[in-house]
Amino acid sequence: MATIVPTLARLAAFFGAFLAAFRSRSGLVVENLALRQQLAVMRESNTRPALRPVDRAFWVIVSRLWSRWKEALIIVQPETVISWHRKGFALFWRWKSRPVGRPPLSPELVALIQRMARENPLWSRRRIAAELARLGIDVDKDTVAKYMPKPGERPRRPPTQTWKTFIHNHVGATIAIDFLTVPTVMFRTLYVFFVLSLDRRRVLHVNVTANPSAQWAAQQIVEAIGPDLAPRFLMRDRDGIYGAAFDARVKHLGIKQLKSAPRSPWQNGYAERWVGTLRRELLDHVIVLGERHLLHLVRKHVAYYNDDRPHMALRGDSLTGRAVETAAKGKIIVSRRVGGLHHRYSRAA
């Protein structure tokens, strides 16, 4: 109630000033003298009146419309009114110069981003943006990050310049191999062997065994190399599992072996990175029952890895290539991959 009374008094004063235009000249002179006498008393009381924003706005407007406004000003100094005007001008241009920002995403697109992040907890913001690009939706990775957790992994240390130069010069004719171990539900140890092509990093072959040997590994190389593949170099570590039988078979195929230095796994970085990918995207989320179960899971993941998974090194494309599907092809449908650990998004024709 205390704040309403002063406001009503100000409105009454403005309305009274409007009605004064219809009064006689003598009445206006007497009223003017009475008001000036009261203002003089208020000025001598040394009590500073409390001014509201509407009062400041009133005097700013009056100063722009009436040339003699300084003669009627008593409660504050003219410089104060000028400072009010400057502050109002600064606030006006601050509002007018406010950043517009990017247009907001549609609710349907936000829901799709959140669905991808929820159904694929291992995907980064760049991978989701790449998957959206495959659907003909251009969204920046930073915009995607607003709707999903940011990845916390730090990048790997890159290989030295000598190995990078060699790999770039021979990437199309080089394959990499390696083993990784997987425990089963009964605490047995199984071995996953894979052959990786450094050209687009495609997985050429994968197999599982409980008893690895040099002869078995050599046979996997033969099965991996088809009529359309003629590698010149094979990168591997110095594991003792690669014996004389393996060396003889690889030499017979006309392939030169490139062995990494002891305790230097980064020299076979592409193979090591795929091992990490397989563990993060599959093995860390399943309990292996046996050899056949593990082989089934790994082959399912390899099919997803080669045909569906967006790869950042390929600008979001898959290893085997995926065409961009525009909105004209229909609505977006979801296909489960690797038992639901991953998904592929495409448009229904």
Instruction: Dump pLDDT digits (tens) for 246-304.
Output: 999 999 999 999 999 888 888 898 899 999 999 999 999 999 999 999 999 999 999 99
Q: 43 with 74, same domain?
A: yes
User: What are the respective helix, strand and coil percentages of the chain, to the nearest 5?
Assistant: 50, 15, 35
Q: 86 with 223, same domain?
A: no
Enter the pTM of the model: 0.59
215, pLDDT greater than 60: yes
Q: 191 with 232, same domain?
A: yes
Q: 272 with 190, same domain?
A: yes
Q: Give the CA radius of gyration of the chain.
A: 39
Q: What is the pLDDT of residue 228?
A: 74
**CB 308 within 8 Å of CB 337:** yes
Within 10 angstroms of residue 201's Cβ, the number of other Cβ atoms is 20
DSSP H or E run through 197: strand 189-197
Q: 147 with 175, same domain?
A: no
Q: 42 with 92, same domain?
A: yes
Highest mean pLDDT among 3-12, 113-122, 139-148, 175-184: 175-184
Q: 239 with 146, same domain?
A: no
Q: 263: left (phi > 0), else alpha (psi -120 to 50), else beta?
A: left
Number of structural domains found in the chain: 3
CA–CA dist 134, 72 (Å, integer): 71
Sheet of 174-183: strands edge to edge? 202-209, 189-197, 174-183, 233-236, 256-259
pLDDT band, very low/low/confident/very high, at 159 (cuts 50, 70, 90):
very low
Q: What is the pLDDT of residue 100?
A: 62
Q: What is the pLDDT of residue 348?
A: 83
**CB 193 within 8 Å of CB 223:** no
Q: 19 with 49, same domain?
A: yes
CA–CA dist 158, 176 (Å, integer): 17
| CA separation, residue 63 to residues 40, 75, 87, 320, 321 (Å) | 22, 15, 15, 74, 71
Q: Does residue 315 fall inside a structural domain? A: no
Kindly state the percentage of the chain with pLDDT values over 90. 37
* More confident position, 178 or 200: 178
* More confident position, 20 or 120: 120
Q: Does residue 312 fall inside a structural domain? A: no
Q: 191 with 283, same domain?
A: yes
Average pLDDT across the chain, whole number: 79
How close are the terminal C-alpha atoms of the chain, in Å? 67
| CA separation, residue 346 to residues 29, 156, 300, 334 (Å) | 84, 31, 19, 7
Q: Does residue 348 fall inside a structural domain? A: no
Domain with 85, as residue range(s), is 4-96
CA–CA dist 108, 121 (Å, integer): 20
Highest mean pLDDT among 29-33, 80-84, 237-241: 237-241
Mean pLDDT of 101-121: 84
pLDDT band, very low/low/confident/very high, at 305 (cuts 50, 70, 90):
very high
Q: What is the pLDDT of residue 210?
A: 96
Q: 141 with 168, same domain?
A: no
Q: 126 with 247, same domain?
A: no
Q: 120 with 197, same domain?
A: no
Q: Does residue 190 fall inside a structural domain? A: yes
Query: 3-state SS string over 226-246?
Result: CCCCCCCEEEECCCCCCCHHH
Q: What is the pLDDT of residue 48?
A: 64
Q: Does residue 275 fall inside a structural domain? A: yes
Q: Does residue 283 fall inside a structural domain? A: yes
Two structure tokens written together for 268: 């076979």
**CB 191 within 8 Å of CB 220:** no
Highest mean pLDDT among 66-75, 88-97, 140-149: 140-149
Q: Does residue 46 fall inside a structural domain? A: yes
